[in-house]
A and B are shown apart, each in its own frame.
Chain A
Amino acid sequence: MNPHVTAFERDGGPAPSLAAPILSVRGVGKRYGSNVACRDVTFELWPGEVLAVVGESGAGKTTLLHCISGQLEPDDGEVLFQRRDGSQANLYGIPEPERRRLMRTDWGVIHQNPRDGLRFGVSAGANVGERLMAVGARHYGDIRAAATDWLKRLEVDVARIDDLPQTFSGGMQQRLQIARNLVTQPRLVFMDEPTGGLDVSVQARLLDLLRTLVSELHLAAVLVTHDLAVARLLADRLMVMRGGEAVELGLTDQVLDDPQHPYTQLLVSSVLQI
């Protein structure tokens, strides 16, 4: 028997609600030349659910995140996204303008480095307001009010709304980036090591903020991290990747406390304390 199959959760029963998965990833693979970055990755993400993707550097986590968030077309497989009206969009089958519109409205991408997610030439307020303008907001007062509201929710000092991003600390830049993404009220957020470069004290507060927002806004999220403790606190489910393949997928606590796959057992037993 293929050991990889037994390591996966048995989704035998019916889902409890009639809601469909917001994201269905089927057999996604990506190669760079002869180098396989990820292979045959399949999972479903449900509304309001947080999935953490863990594994060592080079396991294919970030490539997978790029493929499923519309940033990098995979060589194999498909990525299906459920639109607000309930219909399904094949991410790489729909016209480019629709994909771009979905990326600006229905989902957000939060990068590890705020430099990749913020525009450093414009103010904090403009960074947040820009996404609203991209979806058609034109009234300056409304845009500024929305930006102010989101800065407040992320506990950024609103007196600094006209300051440039580079004058903010790393933790505050990360909050700006999150505000910029959430202002259009996305339903799905992709996060790549969102607390990666931060001090532990700043990380704790940001984790709590993320957890509260995810729950209040009923966001679905895919979170790439190498930190199993972060995964334990934030994620409902955990996917373990190794060498480009997903070797185990299950409820976070089940994968961490009763790991089935040899690599997951090694990973969990190598951590100091989680």
Chain B
Amino acid sequence: MSSLIDVRGLDKSFRLHNQGGLVIPVLRGLDLTVGSGECVVLAGPSGAGKSTLLRCLYGNYKPQGGQVRVRHDGRMVDVVTAHHQTILDMRRRTIGYVSQFLRVVPRVPALDIVAEPLRRIGTAAEAARARARELLDRLAIPERLWSLAPQTFSGGEQQRVNIARGFAVDYPVLLLDEPTAALDADNRARVASLIQDARRRGAAMVGIFHDQDFAAQVGTRRFDMTVLARAAA
């Protein structure tokens, strides 16, 4: 099996300069490999470093040591040491990150927000919008809202707009940071089907899901971080 994500010896700690230089160790010597069609569920108590690991995979957090290699354009690229232009390119085409929070320019219509990641990789305006409509529809966002800016939407609607945006591009690697927190059962099922579709097309996924049933439904493997947390402390 060819791996799309290969993490070796990952160390991540935080130094709080304004609190006497306090150092908080979070990850120590972490190894993880994820292949095509896998959805790895990160398990462990709050504070075990699940979100930290996802953020290290996205190049959002800066590890102190180790390698975070992700397959990009057919070769393994180390996110920790790659040129910033490479990381920006990976985020456009290779790695998607879906969180529960929508953070976009105010007053932009939902449809354009969802279509934007496709526009950035050169998809024609109409094709990008067609895909955006399909996703908004699949996530049961009423059509009358598509031309409105999501700042006025309910929390659950904003969250689903964000999920639609995260799934707009068929990223080979998807990082899911509690995308379904606070969604009702029907909407969780809609997100589950998106994740299953992504698996079928061969995406490698790593996710954090607090809902155990949901995790069992979409996950192919559990990665327990409890022991790692103890080792880091």
Contacts and interface: CB of A to CB of B under 8 A. Distances in A.
Contacts of B16: 265
Interface string B20-48: 00000000000000000000000000000
Interface stretch (A24-32, A68-76, A232-240): A232-240
Query: In this complex, which of B104, B105, B120 has the most chain A Cβ atoms within 10 angstroms of its Cβ?
Result: B105
Interface stretch (B80-88, B155-163, B212-220): B80-88
Contact of B18 (A12, A258, A262): A262
Given A13-B78, A16-B89, A265-B16, A250 B84 contact: yes
B105 A254 contact: no
B222 interface: no
Contact of A269 (B18, B80, B85): B18
Contact of A15 (B15, B18, B78, B85): B85
A251 B120 contact: no
B144 interface: no
B118 to A, nearest CB: 12
Contacts of A269: 18
A16 B106 contact: no
A219 B6 CA distance: 35
Given A13-B77, A207-B105, A211-B105, A265 B18 contact: yes
Interface stretch (B54-62, B128-136, B173-181): B54-62
Given A16-B89, A236-B88, A258 B83 contact: no
Interface string A118-145: 0000000000000000000000000000
B127 interface: no
Contacts of B103: 232
Given A16-B89, A251-B59, A258-B62, A215 B120 contact: yes
Interface in A105-119: none
B231 interface: no
A254 B61 contact: yes
Interface of B: 14-18, 55, 59-62, 77-78, 80-89, 103-108, 119-120
